[in-house]
Amino acid sequence: MRIDMPIPYVRYIGGKSVQRGPMAQKTRPKPRKRATNVSLREDLLAEARELGVNVSTAAEIGLARAIATEREARWLRENRQAIESANAYVERHGLPLGHYRQF
């Protein structure tokens, strides 16, 4: 059997792998950065500088985590009724395909 489909391959260019072919993942454009002012505790800022911590990167990571945590909490609040309903169903009737489980 012959399949006439190009096979993706990986090339190493300048120490980085670059995938080619139809299955290559599209790269997302780098998000633009915007200068902003934030107020930070002096002791944290001094210690970060002493340790060589990039304050902008650390703030960005912390903000991304805070956003993810808040999104998760909101989703759970918005879907609490459906989650409780699904759990009650499983308690009353068992898992929908539970009889197929082998453990």
Residue 82 belongs to some domain of the structure: yes
Residue 20 belongs to some domain of the structure: no
In the prediction, which pLDDT does 6 show?
Answer: 55
Residue 74 belongs to some domain of the structure: yes
Number of structural domains, the chain? 1
In the prediction, which pLDDT does 28 show?
Answer: 73
Picking from 60, 57, 55, the residue whose alpha carbon sits closest to that of residue 41 is: 55
Residue 88 belongs to some domain of the structure: yes
Is the model's pLDDT at 8 over the cut of 90?
no
In the prediction, which pLDDT does 29 show?
Answer: 82
Alpha helices in the chain (DSSP H): 42-51, 55-78, 80-93
Residues spanned by the domain of 82: 64-92
* Integer Cα distance of 10 and 19 in angstroms: 4
**pLDDT tens-digit map of 20-59:** 555 556 677 888 999 999 999 999 999 999 999 999 999 9
pLDDT band at 15 (very low <50, low <70, confident <90, very high): low
Q: What is the DSSP letter of 30?
A: P
How far from the centroid of its chain's Cα atoms is residue 95's Cα? 29
In the prediction, which pLDDT does 1 show?
Answer: 46
**pLDDT tens-digit map of 72-100:** 999 999 999 999 999 999 999 988 888 78
Residue 10 belongs to some domain of the structure: no
The residue-averaged pLDDT of 56-75 equals 95
Residue 102 tokens read as 């082998």
- C-beta separation of 16 from 6 below 8 A: no
Q: What is the DSSP letter of 26?
A: P
